[in-house]
A and B are shown apart, each in its own frame.
Chain A
Amino acid sequence: MSDRPSHRPVFRAALTAALALIFSPALGLAAETEFHNVWDSWFEFSRVLNFLIVLFGLYFILRKPIRKAMDARREGIIKAMEEAKEARAEAARLREEYEKRTADLDEELAKMRVQAEADREALKARLLKESAESAERILEHARFTIEQETKKAEQLIRARAAELALDLAEKALERELGPEDQRRFIKDYIAKVGEMN
């Protein structure tokens, strides 16, 4: 047996409706003709018969296109329902994906916040370390400079003091050295001249 739904009840209903439409004027007309006693049964019968012939002709002509149209309509509805179902599924999938992305975004933001905090702390530590090293270098340089300047000043003072002392000594020698001293110098020199460098 075919799965295709039967259209016979529809047809029957259509036929009944057609007949009712056909006979209702005829019954009306018959009621009128009681007064006139004029009713051409054969004429009415031929009209009904013609109608039926036309109806059956229409049925045989239109049966297949109608059925085809009905099938197409049914398939269209089924397809529309399937598409609606797929659209709902797609919407659900998109919503789920969006929610997932939103959840991932929050997680990513949290990670970025943590990383930014870590970077900030690292930068802070590095800057502090560099500042401390720089300060130490400056201090070391300052210590070295002070030490060098102190040494220079000490040497300058010592040289100046030596110069003054020796100037005094020179003047004293010029004043005090007599011929005996000079002879003694000469004698000492001659005694040691070969050994001196």
Chain B
Amino acid sequence: MTGGSVARRYAKALIELAAKEDRVDAVGEEIEQAAGLFESSAELRNLMFSPGIVKDVKRGILTELLKRASVGELSGRFLQLLLEKDRLRDIVPISAKYRELADELNNRVRAQVRSAFALSDEEETALRNQLSAATGKEVVLEIETDATLLGGLKARVGSATWDGSVRNHLESLRERLAGRS
């Protein structure tokens, strides 16, 4: 079974249970937090993913982590299940798949936005509203500041891209000037 299909199977099962509790987004955030923890800590990965460490030790570490992170019951049980099934190393793709499924369930899309200058709250709200109007879905902005754009913004939602950066204007101008006969 491939990693993608495993992640999808686990994520789908989890989101169905979370939907019953009406905690889809909350569970998603908890799983994402746990995935981030594993992703950021090589030491933790070595401990939890090593076949040389017995499962009881791993269970104790996970229980301690769950307490400290104040993870909900469903998310905690899910992480324990992954440990028992030796699928804890798939937590990152499972988290990503869960987020996709949650977005689909809530008619939501994520917009990767790169801006040459930090956006104010009003600007973020205005941008979200505009993108929602353009896509017909709720938009979650994932904003990143990128000075190489020189000015303006670039947003990508799924396969659609709206590039209004000064860099893009300059590149278009460069191509037009080079290609004009």
> Which of the residues B131, B177, B180, B181 comes within 8 Å of A193, measured between beta carbons?
B131
B17 at interface, CB cutoff 8 A: no
> Which of the residues B117, B126, B166 comes within 8 Å of A179, measured between beta carbons?
B117
**Contact A158-B177, Cβ < 8 Å, known A186-B115, A196-B163:** yes
> Which of the residues B133, B151, B164 comes within 8 Å of A192, measured between beta carbons?
B164
**Residues 173-185 of chain A, each 1 if its beta carbon lies under 8 Å from chain B, else 0:** 1100101011101
> A190: which B residues are within 8 A, CB to CB?
123, 126-127, 130
Interface size for B (C-beta < 8 A) is 28
Q: Is the CB of B177 within 8 A of A170?
A: no
> B150: which A residues are within 8 A, CB to CB?
170, 173-174, 177
Interface size for A (C-beta < 8 A) is 30
Q: Is the CB of B163 within 8 A of A182?
A: no
A169 at interface, CB cutoff 8 A: yes
**Residues 122-164 of chain B, each 1 if its beta carbon lies under 8 Å from chain A, else 0:** 0100110011011000000000000000111101000000111
> A191: which B residues are within 8 A, CB to CB?
130
A-B contact pairs, 13 of them (CB 8 A): A155-B181, A166-B174, A170-B150, A170-B170, A173-B166, A177-B150, A186-B119, A189-B162, A190-B130, A193-B155, A196-B163, A196-B164, A197-B162
Q: In the complex, what residue of chain A is closest to B179 when comparing beta carbons?
A: A155
CA distance A162 to B123 in the complex (A): 34
CA distance A196 to B143 in the complex (A): 19
Q: In the complex, what residue of chain B is closest to A151 when comparing beta carbons?
A: B181
> A139: which B residues are within 8 A, CB to CB?
none
A65 at interface, CB cutoff 8 A: no
List the 9 shortest-distance A-B pairs measured between CB atoms, nearest first.
A162-B177, A182-B117, A194-B134, A159-B178, A189-B164, A185-B152, A185-B151, A196-B162, A189-B153
**Contact A185-B164, Cβ < 8 Å, known A170-B150, A177-B150, A194-B134:** yes
> Which of the residues A151, A155, A169, A186 comes within 8 Å of B123, measured between beta carbons?
A186
CA distance A139 to B91 in the complex (A): 71
> A194: which B residues are within 8 A, CB to CB?
130-131, 133-134
Q: In the complex, what residue of chain B is closest to A162 when comparing beta carbons?
A: B177
Q: Is the CB of A166 within 8 A of B130?
A: no
Shortest beta-carbon distance from A181 to chain B in Å: 6
> A182: which B residues are within 8 A, CB to CB?
116-117, 151
